[in-house]
Structures are given as structure tokens and as C-alpha cells.
Amino acid sequence: MKVYIAGKLSSDSEREKLEEISKLCESLGFETFLPHRDVGLCEDIKDVKKIFEEDIIRGFSKCDLIIALLDGLHVGAGTAWELGYAYSKGIPAIGIKTDESIEDALEYLSAILISSMKIVNSFEELKKEIKKFKN
């Protein structure tokens, strides 16, 4: 089973948290696709096409689940797009928001994101949800 891990990539701490999610999934026996690890970062406008093709075409190929890191004041544009794309493809999603409750984040997350997936607030809860996808 393949898990696509989505989230903002602009800081080391954001990427480290995504890597923690990947390690958790891998420890449970899942294959992971982590965009910054498996494709790289978009450093320049010339990287845009490659990033899109590799992240979306390859990353979502045979993807069974998307896990999205939702921490921060706003969900990243790429993360929101990936969640919408996954939803349109019938790929289930789990969100994780560890920095505040969903109720307090309603203004930032939007009713659409909140209602389209299960959102947990800890790595322990995430682990329980991921296990539900084991064959």
C-alpha cells in the first residue's frame, strides 16, 4: 500500500515533520511517497514542470492514501490542491493538525477540507487511523 505525504515544504521544521509521518507509515509496513525526498524542491521557475509531473503523475500513481500535515496558520496551496485531487480520484485522506484544535482552526482550514477527511491531532491518533488501512 502506498501513502502520499503532503504538506508545506518551505522550512526545515515542516520537512522534518513530514519525514516523521513517513517514518511512522514505513514502520507500519507502508510504502511512502514524500515529494521533497523523492523528487526534490522547486528551486526555480524552470523546476515547475518537473515538480508537477513527478509529484502528481508519479507520486499519485498507485497511491492508496494521502496524509496531509495541516499545521500552521494556513494550509499550503499545493497541499490543498493535492487533497482536492486525491478526493476527485477517490483516494482517502487523513489530515494531522497538532498545533491547535480543529474547532479553533475552522477559519483557516475551511469546512470543505474538514468535511472531506478524518483529521487527527496527534501522531498516536494518526497511527491508529493508518492501521485501519492495513490489508
What is the distance between the terminal CA atoms of the chain, rounded to a whole angstrom? Answer: 8
Domain count for the chain, please give it. 1
Q: Write the CATH number for 27.
A: 3.40.50.450
Range of the domain at 67: 2-131
Residue 132 sits at the vertex; the CA angle it makes with 71 and 109, to the nearest 5 degrees, is: 25
pLDDT tens for each residue of 16-28: 999 999 999 999 9
**Burial status of residue 121 (CB atoms within 10 A of its CB: 0-12, 13-18, 19 or more):** middle
Q: What is the pTM of this model?
A: 0.90
Question: What is the pLDDT, as a whole number, of residue 92?
Answer: 97
pLDDT tens for each residue of 61-75: 889 999 999 998 889
What DSSP character marks residue 26?
H
